[in-house]
């Protein structure tokens, strides 16, 4: 671990060095290989010396398990480096390491299961809290379920909240908190928290991948389990160590990022809900991490994300505009990127452009996208003042063109599993499309751009779900520019660009909970068109499958259950008096699933990997709803 940690700190400041140069990928790869070899050697040594005097014998784990865990951690990190490599061969090697780590972690967790089962089957009435913990205690030590967990002390304003859960089964290690006697030895704490963190993150990530990729992973033995993965991460987060902090960061990142990115998620269940957005529990976890690590910028970043996820974008942006900087370049890059997105959602175009240009200096992975959004921000400024200040407008137009033309040469410089990044493909095609239109229409490049590209980016990053009603109205106003007299080229636009405009409007209407209007807009503007109009050279081939997802999201959000939980008007026209709430909801869920299946089975398109994440999560939510209501189905 120290070999890896030294790489994080032994570099130049973030402002002077790119994150992901080839040498930086080579350096961690070499250090991780050394760490993996060292851990394997230490494991063999521990096994060989297991009978030596004064050697600690865990009552749960076999000798050397702590080093096997270190080896698995190194393999997991090597797998990440491998799939980020531009070589397909290295990506395949990465999956091989992932498989080895998966097997090791599974074996460690089976040791825990064996310990708990043997303790339970012993029939002893003594609590596991009183288990002996000295040397020589075997896995057959007698136990029964641990005592109920105690709430963790938090900040005064959150003193009534707890990150603990009491819903775990009595034969599950996840029912034990750090105060349990079985965790008095720090080696056992390290193994338990580390195995739960690593295996939990694996199960969670595998459960999130798009359908086509998840089938491939299933063939080679990887199967995700979101529920179990999240419970394991929550368990790891209880421990006051580095692994506990990483688990907390993963939980907060998943909840404030992925959950808020996906529009169709399972309904929260009473009591112990881990798959939805357990807000009080998340706030308690964040408060605990801020208390433990008061100087860490990582938790400030997560506080900003949490505010953004809960429609407090102004607060979220303010938190990231301070003078403090993280010594870790990775954290600094995340901070600036998050600030860039928040500025984009808030239509703070100057700050948005400046921040994304700063991202170019900090991160080499998506430079084409950063230049594209910076150019789009200046395009919006140009459009805002073109009719009132020609001189200033010309300067913004010049900058927009400069950044737009910087983007395509940088696209494809980085690959994921030897494939071009989805937004790199998107950016290159968009700008090529605009250049072709400018030449055909004999207008400047800035006047050949169609629907506001900033609003399009807000849509792809699901910014509308983070906006207040007033901010959504502002997005509607920005979209209205396309059909205004200020746009001299709208009459030349074909059905494709007009469909994009209506799809973005429908997305804003959905965020406003105006579902009938949103659905009608999609039906009349997109589904009434032949899908062949949206395919072909330089076309936006994502329109139709994304429209199916939008329709599904509207149907999911207008359900009586959703409205009862989240508030907002239910769709009156969708609720005939002859239908009961449950009959209505069944029909809505059935139609929702039909649209999701169409989106999932759509032929390959430009952003299918990105949209596929949302589709996968949505189908899982629908399946969970169907399972919960199967007993009363008619």
DSSP for 315-333 reads HHHHHTSSS---SSHHHHH
Does 110 map to a domain? Answer: no
Model confidence at 13: pLDDT above 70: no
Closest CA to 285 of 247, 312, 319, 318: 247
Residue 251 contacts by C-beta under 8 Å, 6 or more apart in sequence? Answer: 230, 233, 234, 237, 282, 285
Closest CA to 232 of 266, 258, 203, 268: 203
Task: Give 456-485 pLDDT, tens digit per residue.
Answer: 999 999 999 999 999 999 999 999 999 999
Phi and psi angles of residue 58, each rounded to the nearest 5 degrees, phi first: -65, 140
Same domain, 566 and 488: no
| Mean pLDDT value across residues 94-121 | 87
Q: Indicate the residue among 446, 472, 493 that finishes a domain.
A: 493
Does 620 map to a domain? Answer: yes
Does 606 map to a domain? Answer: yes
Instruction: State how beta strands 415-416 and 419-420 pair.
Output: antiparallel
Q: Indicate the residue among 446, 477, 493 that finishes a domain.
A: 493
Same domain, 539 and 484: no
Residue 128 contacts by C-beta under 8 Å, 6 or more apart in sequence? Answer: 119, 143, 144, 145, 146, 176, 180, 181, 182
Task: Give 478-521 pLDDT, tens digit per residue.
Answer: 999 999 999 999 999 989 999 999 999 999 999 999 999 999 99
- Please give the Cα distance from 32 to 550 (Å, whole number): 43
* Between 390 and 631, residue with greater pLDDT: 390
Q: Indicate the residue among 457, 474, 493 that finishes a domain.
A: 493
Count of structural domains, the chain: 2
Same domain, 566 and 450: no
Task: Give 282-320 pLDDT, tens digit per residue.
Answer: 999 999 999 999 888 999 999 999 999 999 999 999 999
Does 346 map to a domain? Answer: yes
Same domain, 455 and 566: no
CB 188 within 8 A of CB 139: no
Task: Give 44-81 pLDDT, tens digit per residue.
Answer: 998 988 888 877 888 899 999 999 999 999 999 988 88
Beta-carbon-side half-sphere exposure of residue 515 (alpha carbons within 13 Å): 23
Same domain, 455 and 534: no
Same domain, 537 and 396: no
Phi and psi angles of residue 420, each rounded to the nearest 5 degrees, phi first: -65, 145
Same domain, 486 and 540: no
- Please give the Cα distance from 130 to 145 (Å, whole number): 11
Model confidence at 176: pLDDT above 50: yes
Does 489 map to a domain? Answer: yes
Query: What is the pLDDT at residue 26?
Result: 72
Same domain, 361 and 423: yes
Report the percent of the chain where pLDDT is more than 90. 55
Same domain, 379 and 467: yes
Query: What is the pLDDT at residue 279?
Result: 87
Report the percent of the chain where pLDDT is more than 70. 81
Model confidence at 208: pLDDT above 50: yes
Same domain, 424 and 510: no
Q: What angle in degrees, to the nearest 10, is found between the helix axes of 515-522 and 495-511? A: 160
Does 264 map to a domain? Answer: no
DSSP for 117-160 reads HHHHHT---S-GGG---STT--TT----PPPPPPPPP--GGGTT
Same domain, 521 and 483: no
CB 458 within 8 A of CB 345: yes
Q: What is the pTM of this model?
A: 0.84
Q: How far is CA 577 from CA 216, 410, 429, in A?
A: 47, 58, 49
Does 411 map to a domain? Answer: yes
Least confident of 148-157, 321-330, 365-374, 441-450: 148-157
Which domain covers residue 536, as residue numbers?
Answer: 501-634
Phi and psi angles of residue 415, each rounded to the nearest 5 degrees, phi first: -135, 155
Which residues lie across from 415 on neighbouring strands?
420
CB 545 within 8 A of CB 597: no
The three-state DSSP-derived secondary structure of 273-298 is CCCCCCHHHHHHHHHHHHHHCCCCHH
Tokens of 553: 């999201």
Same domain, 505 and 629: yes
Does 298 map to a domain? Answer: no
Q: What angle in degrees, to the nearest 10, is found between the helix axes of 495-511 and 453-460? A: 50
Kindly report the length of the chain. Answer: 634
Task: Give 587-633 pLDDT, tens digit per residue.
Answer: 999 999 999 999 999 998 988 888 988 999 999 999 999 998 885 54
Tokens of 531: 């899908």
Residue 397 contacts by C-beta under 8 Å, 6 or more apart in sequence? Answer: 378, 379, 382, 444, 446
Model confidence at 565: pLDDT above 70: yes
Tokens of 274: 């881990």
Query: What is the pLDDT at residue 151?
Result: 34
Task: Give 405-463 pLDDT, tens digit per residue.
Answer: 999 999 876 666 556 778 889 999 999 999 999 999 999 999 999 999 999 999 999 99
């Amino acid at each position: 671990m120290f070999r890896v940690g030294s790489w994080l700190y032994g570099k130049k400041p973030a402002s002077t060095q790119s994150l992901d140069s080839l040498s930086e990928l080579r350096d961690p790869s070499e250090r991780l290989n050394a760490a993996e070899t060292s851990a394997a050697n230490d494991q063999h040594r521990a096994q060989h010396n297991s009978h030596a005097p004064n050697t600690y014998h865990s009552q749960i784990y076999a000798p050397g398990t702590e080093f096997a865990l270190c080896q698995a951690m190194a393999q997991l990190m090597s797998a990440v480096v491998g799939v980020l490599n531009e070589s397909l061969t290295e990506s395949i090697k990465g999956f091989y390491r992932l498989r080895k780590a998966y097997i090791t972690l599974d074996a460690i967790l089976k040791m825990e299961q064996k310990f708990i089962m043997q303790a339970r089957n012993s029939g002893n009435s003594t609590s596991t809290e009183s288990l002996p913990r000295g040397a020589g205690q075997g896995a057959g030590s007698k136990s029964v379920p641990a005592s109920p967990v105690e709430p963790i002390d938090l900040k005064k304003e959150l003193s009534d909240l707890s990150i603990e859960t009491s819903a775990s089964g009595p034969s599950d290690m996840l029912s034990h908190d750090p105060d349990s006697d079985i965790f008095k030895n720090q080696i056992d704490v390290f193994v338990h928290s580390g195995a739960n963190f690593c295996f939990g993150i694996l199960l969670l990530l595998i459960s999130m991948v798009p359908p086509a990729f998840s089938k491939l992973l299933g063939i080679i033995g990887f199967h995700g389990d979101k529920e179990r993965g999240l419970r394991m991460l929550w368990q790891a987060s209880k421990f006051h160590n580095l692994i506990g902090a990483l688990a907390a960061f993963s939980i907060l990142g998943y909840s404030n990022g992925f959950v808020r990115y996906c529009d169709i998620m399972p309904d929260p269940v009473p009591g112990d809900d881990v798959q939805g957005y357990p807000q009080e529990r998340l706030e308690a976890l964040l408060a605990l991490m801020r208390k433990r690590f008061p100087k860490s910028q990582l938790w400030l970043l997560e506080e900003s994300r949490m505010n953004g996820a809960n429609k407090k974008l102004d607060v979220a942006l303010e938190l990231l505009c301070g003078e403090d900087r993280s010594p870790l370049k990775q954290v600094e890059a995340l901070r600036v990127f998050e600030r860039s997105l928040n500025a984009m959602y808030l239509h703070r175009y100057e700050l948005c452009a400046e921040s994304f240009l700063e991202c170019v200096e900090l991160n080499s992975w998506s430079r084409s996208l950063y230049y594209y959004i910076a150019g789009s921000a200046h395009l919006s400024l140009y459009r805002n003042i073109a009719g009132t200040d020609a001189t200033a407008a010309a300067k913004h137009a010049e900058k927009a063109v400069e950044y737009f033309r910087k983007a395509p040469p940088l696209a494809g410089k980085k690959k994921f599993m030897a494939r071009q990044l989805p937004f790199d493909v998107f950016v290159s095609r968009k700008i090529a499309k605009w250049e072709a239109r400018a030449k055909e229409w004999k207008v400047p490049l800035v006047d050949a751009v169609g629907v506001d590209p900033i609003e399009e980016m807000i849509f792809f990053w699901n910014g509308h779900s983070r906006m207040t009603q007033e901010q959504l109205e502002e997005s509607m106003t920005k979209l209205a520019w396309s059909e205004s007299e200020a746009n001299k080229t709208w009459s030349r636009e074909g059905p494709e660009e007009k469909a994009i405009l209506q799809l973005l409007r429908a997305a804003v209407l959905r965020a406003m909970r105006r579902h009938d209007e949103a659905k009608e807009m999609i039906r009349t503007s997109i589904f009434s068109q032949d899908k062949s109009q949206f395919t072909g050279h330089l076309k936006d081939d994502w329109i139709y499958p994304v429209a199916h997802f939008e329709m599904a999201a509207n149907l999911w959000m207008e359900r009586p259950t959703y409205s009862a939980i989240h508030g907002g008007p239910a769709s009156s026209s969708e609720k005939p008096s002859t239908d009961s709430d449950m009959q209505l909801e069944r029909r809505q869920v059935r139609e929702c699933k039909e649209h999701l299946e169409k989106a999932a089975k759509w032929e390959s398109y430009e952003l299918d990997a990105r949209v596929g994440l949302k589709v996968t999560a949505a189908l899982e939510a629908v399946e969970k709803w169907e399972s919960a209501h199967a007993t009363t189905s008619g």
